[in-house]
């Protein structure tokens, strides 16, 4: 499988090169030359254990020897505390896909436990080093650190918005003592952090000189890993309900998680609807309902991982929305960069894409969803998952069971749980153990020059 850029200005490259490059050198995002059609294999895959299913899906994208790919997958899932890796819990009309059983209690562990090991594997083959630069709105940072900490040939630099992640999320990132881990709190929003990362990646001379790599969802290997749990959950729910098609509701801000569901659908998974759920930062839900993608001001909420106005994975969807025409993608992205807005024509009957439905949940609705689920089912949702559950209620269909992605453990957002229920219910021993650990972080202005100097200082001191 070869990988091409959404902007079409660089030659196709192999899987390992795409993983190590992260962002394409023309500023686009890597996608496979073709999406494999796996409909002929669905019946045989229905009963596979998670690791075996992951191998069958990922081998269609990754040019690694079978033994090596299997070993990377097997070692990645051993860090999960549930034997199913991503179990599905039935709750009335909904099926909750729990993606928080990894080492940092967030869905991003699914991909980043694999990606950290994949980086180490590729670097060992080529005798290179890598300096990973990541922006996080909350969970990516700790999950990326957990996947990379202590590994040879790698350092990781994580930027997060000062005061705009939960206290527990911040402690997960800043209490890690490994010498290859560096965190910086940026005086700005997540969008500022993400813009700095992309600016430094576009500086090709700097990028090559310091050997920058990416773990954000701009890295194709993350999406490839996330596709697996869509298949796994769909198979289990279809078997449980006797239905032959499912729906997914996905709380999202960066469009990476739901784009993995879109890939699963393009591969042939019988998905009737992908329901996109946003909080007050509703740029994505507005787009799918109106065709207008317009940048706004970031509003801090109880679901900080979704407090985003520029979704870094959205360009991949635009590539397919444009009929796989990179020239049109470039026109759209240039227009968005200069005006803060792009428009796509809606279909007759409304909406951009019949596969997608979209809605949003504000803070009162999010808290009400947490409270209602706990009072009716005794089940705690984190605020991101609660946004998804709230939106899902508007798109239920008895013929297509609804699977809601639960993207983080509620203990990561204990204050929101207490606000919703009036009780101190959300705890986890992994998180409680962080309270007494020393913190390491650097506070930086929202400036690419400041971050550039920070990287150069730390890399130079280590060499």
Higher-confidence position of 216 and 230 = 230
Q: Running DSSP on this structure, what letter comes out for residue 410?
A: G
The tokens for 105 are 């209690």
Strands 130-135, 154-161: pairing is parallel
CATH of 83-105+221-428, one of 3.40.50.300, 3.40.50.1100, 3.30.200.20, 3.30.365.10: 3.40.50.1100
Which residues lie closer than 8 Å to 83 by C-beta, 6 or more apart?
none
Catalytic residues: 108
Predicted confidence band of residue 214 (pLDDT cuts 50, 70, 90): confident
**Model confidence, pTM:** 0.93
Domain positions in the chain: 83-105+221-428
Say how many Å lie between the first and final Cα of the chain, rounded.
Answer: 36
Please write the tens of the pLDDT for every residue from 8-65. Answer: 999 999 999 999 998 899 999 999 999 999 999 999 999 999 999 999 999 999 999 9
Give the model confidence (pLDDT) of 377-398 as tens digits. 999 999 999 999 999 999 999 9
Q: How far apart are CA 208 and CA 234, in angstroms?
A: 41
Q: Does residue 11 sit in helix, strand or coil?
A: coil
Of 347, 234, 372, which is closest to residue 289 (Cα–Cα)?
347
Instruction: Give the tens place of pLDDT for each residue, 334-349.
Output: 999 999 999 999 888 7
């Amino acid at each position: 499988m070869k990988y091409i850029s959404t902007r079409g200005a660089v030659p196709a490259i192999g899987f390992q090169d795409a993983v190590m490059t992260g962002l394409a050198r023309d500023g686009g995002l890597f996608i496979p030359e073709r999406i494999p059609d796996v409909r002929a294999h669905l019946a045989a895959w229905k009963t596979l254990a998670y690791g075996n299913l992951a191998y069958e899906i990922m081998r269609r994208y990754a040019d690694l020897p079978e033994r090596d790919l299997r070993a990377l997958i097997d070692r990645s899932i051993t860090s999960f505390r549930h034997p199913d890796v991503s179990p599905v819990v039935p709750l009335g009309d909904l099926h909750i896909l729990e993606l928080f059983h990894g080492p940092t209690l967030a869905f991003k562990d699914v991909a980043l436990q694999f990606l950290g090991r994949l980086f180490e594997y590729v670097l060992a083959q080529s005798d290179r080093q890598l300096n990973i630069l990541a922006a996080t709105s909350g969970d990516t940072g700790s999950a990326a650190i957990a996947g990379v900490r202590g590994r040879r040939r790698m350092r990781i630099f994580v930027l997060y918005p000062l005061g705009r992640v939960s206290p527990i999320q911040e402690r997960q990132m800043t209490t890690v003592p490994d010498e290859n881990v560096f965190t910086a709190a940026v005086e700005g929003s997540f969008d500022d952090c993400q813009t700095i990362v992309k600016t430094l990646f576009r500086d090709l001379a700097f990028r090559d000189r310091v050997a920058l790599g990416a773990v954000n969802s701009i890295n194709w290997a993350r999406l490839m890993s996330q596709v697996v749990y869509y298949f796994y959950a769909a198979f289990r729910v279809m078997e449980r309900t006797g239905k032959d098609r499912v729906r997914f509701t996905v709380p999202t801000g960066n469009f990476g998680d739901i784009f993995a569901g879109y890939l699963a659908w393009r591969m042939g998974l019988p998905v009737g609807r992908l329901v996109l759920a946003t909080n007050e930062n509703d740029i994505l839900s507005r787009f799918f309902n109106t065709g207008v993608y317009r940048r706004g001001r970031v509003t801090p909420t109880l679901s900080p991982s979704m407090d985003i106005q520029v979704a870094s994975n959205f360009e991949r969807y635009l590539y397919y929305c444009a009929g796989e025409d990179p020239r049109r993608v470039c026109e759209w992205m240039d227009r968005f960069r200069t005006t803060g807005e792009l428009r796509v024509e809606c279909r007759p009957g409304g909406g951009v894409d019949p596969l997608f439905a979209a809605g949003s949940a504000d803070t009162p609705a999010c808290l009400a969803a947490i409270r209602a689920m706990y009072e009716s089912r005794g089940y705690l949702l984190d605020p991101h998952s609660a946004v998804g559950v709230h939106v899902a209620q508007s798109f239920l269909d008895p013929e297509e069971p609804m699977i809601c992605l639960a993207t983080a453990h509620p203990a990561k957002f204990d204050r929101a749980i207490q606000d919703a229920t009036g009780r101190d219910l959300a705890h986890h021993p992994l998180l409680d153990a962080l309270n007494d650990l020393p913190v390491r972080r650097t506070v930086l202005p929202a400036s690419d020059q400041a971050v550039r100097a920070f990287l150069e200082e730390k890399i130079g001191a280590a060499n």
